[in-house]
Amino acid sequence: MALDTAALRRFLSSVHPYDALPEEALSGLLPAFRVQNMAAGEDIYRLGDPLEGLYLIHSGSVAVRDQNAVQISQLGPRNSFGERGLGRDGIAATSARTLEDTVLLVLPKSDFLRLVETQPEAAKFFDRSRSPRPKRPDLATSPVETLMARDPLTCGPSATVRDAAKAMAERHVSSICITDGGVLRGIATIRDLSGKVVAGALPYDTPIAQVMTPDPLSLPPSAIGSDVLHIMMERRIGHVPVCTGQTLVGIVTQTDLTRFQATSSAELVSEIAHASDAQEMARVTARIPQLLVQLVGTGNRHEVVTRLITDIADTATRRLLALAEKRLGPPPVPYLWLACGSQGRQEQTGVSDQDNCLMLDDRYSEEDAPYFKALAQFVCDGLNTCGYVYCPGDMMATSPRWRQPVSIWKTYFKGWISKPSPEAQMLASVMFDLRPIGGTASLFENLQDQTLALAAKNSIFVAHMLSNSLKHTPPLGLLRGFATIRNGEHKNTLDLKHNGVVPVVDLGRIYALQAQLNAVNTRARLEAAQAAGVLSASGGRDLLDAYDLIAETRLEHQAAQIRAGEAPNNYLAPSSLSDFERSHLRDAFVVVKSLQAAAGHGKAMLS
């Protein structure tokens, strides 16, 4: 394939950072690019080869593999690769091979280096090592709203299957969403038409409502691409509607997805979702440490890494619930399994125990107790087998206290809020991080909103919660040093969990209470607090940057331990950091301490 100057300009103008270059700079760059046509299965370069320059994919796809031949990314059109080697010694630290017929644009090394030296926007984009939160266009980090088709095919519930099939054929799509006034009511696919209409010999004037899957699983536009992939793998579906509230705004199908860095986590999700017992699941979850190393090593942001790792725990929990029901029979009343703690916040790392509870429909009676006791024991035992060890504080559904009807849970929250004792504050802190995992989600919806409203109105309770949250302080010492652990097994280290991440988690929870925010994830809470005005724009930016640095330092520490053959933990020796790293980490702790002080004085809105 040949590209003339006009076609090359049009293409580069649609790719960042070239779209941000001054016209003169872009024009001067055009003659430097060389077009390289490659067949499927060809090596672009191998590990240790000298790199010709920067590679930009015009069409086709490329697999990049690390030194162990493990695929770390699958790149498509408009993706660049090879820049890291060019910034060092010009030697490839990875290998790259085409997966299909591919057209590459090659920018020679000298021209690439001149570009990043003279154009700040290009330097910022390609020198990702300078950024604490690298941004790459991949599935794991891409919001669903950037992946979805924004004009999904729809029809009303009364439309016939013939009309639906004709519309699908005309649009060349494999599904149709059934809506009523914009509200999603169901979805029908080619499989439904062939399996239910044709195979079932139904009349072609049958209403589509009789064939559709009612109330299908959907995601909000704010979800990420890996959420879609994981759902597809777990549920064996190929179409996921995207809704704002109940209103259909788009759809994502398997053909919309390119499996980038989330592929390995999706494989784990798929294997767990179809495992026959906890032992089989445990063989899969044993690969989580290596997944963490891969995700951290390829530059994923901390909230993406923890989200993907938590997805695996969620899938294991749902699979265990399904296996429990298969063994025990259908539940006597509806139930909802919820996670709290780091799983509830979608912030699991390489070190996680289990924190969970059961909410039961108010039709529950003591005759149903043996069933749910057995279900809780089966699931918690299975999670322990999978490496999610029993909670030391017994915050699990196996405890009768945390296995109660919704009415009792309402009593719990009301009591904690009206009488904020130290135990109540601790329990409320845990329970405000609840997130539904499996079962009847509607059991929790009203409870969450009612509890947030009740808590926000009780200034004494919020004050007690704030006071309790300030007990976790950043490890700042005198004379610009760190306050390390003084004795014991972890002497001279920093606890990056309790003195690093937890203070920010606590602040995020307080902001969520003050503004009645439904978000549970810490970063989502901080962003929502900014939007709600509980946290100012400047204070929010500082706190988010500080949180990112602390959380990423924690993950990098755990990944380094795993690579060294050690069990990961949260204890970091400052001596293992460079002067530059120590300085920035201390600055991050200072920001958190400042926000704690502002919150403690009733000034959460920093200016």
Q: What is the pLDDT of residue 15?
A: 83
Identify whether residues 475 and 425 lie together within a single domain: no
Per cent of the chain over pLDDT 90 is 52
Identify whether residues 496 and 564 lie together within a single domain: yes
Please say if the pLDDT value at position 261 is more than 90.
Answer: no
Q: Identify the domain containing residue 342 by its residue range.
A: 263-453
Identify whether residues 119 and 154 lie together within a single domain: no
Do residues 231 and 217 touch, judged by C-beta distance below 8 A? yes
Q: Where are the alpha helices (DSSP H) in 335-441?
A: 341-344, 369-385, 406-418, 422-431
Query: Kind and range of the H or E element at 463?
Result: helix 459-469
Q: What is the pLDDT of residue 365?
A: 96
Identify whether residues 367 and 275 lie together within a single domain: yes
pTM here is 0.64
Q: Is residue 137 part of a domain?
A: no
Identify whether residues 338 and 278 lie together within a single domain: yes
Answer with the one of 252, 277, 307 that is the final residue of a domain.
252
Do residues 176 and 153 touch, judged by C-beta distance below 8 A? yes
Q: Is residue 464 part of a domain?
A: no
Q: Is residue 459 part of a domain?
A: no
- DSSP β-bridge partners for residue 75: 62
Q: Is residue 422 part of a domain?
A: yes
Tokens 């696919």 found at: 189
Higher pLDDT, 63 or 164: 164
**Residue 422 pLDDT class (50, 70, 90 cuts):** confident
Identify whether residues 332 and 376 lie together within a single domain: yes
**219: helix, strand or coil:** strand
- DSSP β-bridge partners for residue 103: 37, 59
The enclosing domain of 346 has a CATH number of: 3.30.460.10
Identify whether residues 488 and 571 lie together within a single domain: yes
DSSP summary character for residue 431:
H
CA distance 271 to 544: 35
Answer with the one of 252, 274, 299 that is the final residue of a domain.
252
User: What ranges make up the beta strands (E) of 471-531?
Assistant: 494-495
Identify whether residues 10 and 113 lie together within a single domain: yes
Q: Is residue 465 part of a domain?
A: no
Q: What is the pLDDT of residues 262-281, one digit of tens each?
A: 446 778 888 899 999 999 99
Identify whether residues 211 and 287 lie together within a single domain: no
CA distance 318 to 571: 32
Rg of the chain taking only CA atoms, in angstroms: 26
Do residues 474 and 497 touch, judged by C-beta distance below 8 A? no
Identify whether residues 314 and 404 lie together within a single domain: yes
Query: Kind and range of the H or E element at 62?
Result: strand 62-65
Q: What is the pLDDT of residues 547-571, one digit of tens each?
A: 999 999 999 999 999 988 899 999 9
Q: Is residue 10 part of a domain?
A: yes
CA distance 240 to 256: 11
Q: What is the pLDDT of residues 451-490, one digit of tens each?
A: 888 988 888 898 888 888 888 899 987 555 798 999 999 9
DSSP summary character for residue 389:
B
Q: What is the pLDDT of residue 119?
A: 85
Identify whether residues 300 and 430 lie together within a single domain: yes
**504: helix, strand or coil:** helix
β-pair type (356-360, 403-405)? parallel
Q: What is the pLDDT of residues 215-234, one digit of tens each?
A: 999 999 888 888 888 898 88
Please say if the pLDDT value at position 359 is more than 90.
Answer: yes
Query: CB-based contacts of 285: which residues, under 8 Å, 6+ apart?
Result: 268, 272, 312, 316, 386, 387, 388
If one counts the domains in the chain, the total is 4
DSSP per position, 253-307: EGGG----TTHHHHHHHHHHHT-SSHHHHHHHHTTHHHHHHHHHHTT--HHHHHH
CA distance 522 to 470: 16
Higher pLDDT, 2 or 251: 251
Q: What is the pLDDT of residue 143?
A: 73
Q: How many CA atoms lie within 13 A of 280 on its CB side?
A: 12
Q: Is residue 441 part of a domain?
A: yes
Answer with the one of 397, 422, 453 that is the final residue of a domain.
453
Q: What is the pLDDT of residue 116?
A: 85
- Starting from the edge strand earliest in sequence, which strands make up the sheet with 62-65, in order? 43-45, 95-98, 62-65, 71-75
Do residues 462 and 428 touch, judged by C-beta distance below 8 A? no
The enclosing domain of 58 has a CATH number of: 2.60.120.10
Q: What is the pLDDT of residue 136?
A: 44
What rounded mean pLDDT belongs to the chain? Answer: 87
Please say if the pLDDT value at position 133 is more than 60.
Answer: no
Do residues 525 and 508 touch, judged by C-beta distance below 8 A? yes
Identify whether residues 279 and 416 lie together within a single domain: yes
Q: What is the pLDDT of residue 132?
A: 39
Q: Is residue 33 part of a domain?
A: yes
Please say if the pLDDT value at position 135 is more than 50.
Answer: no
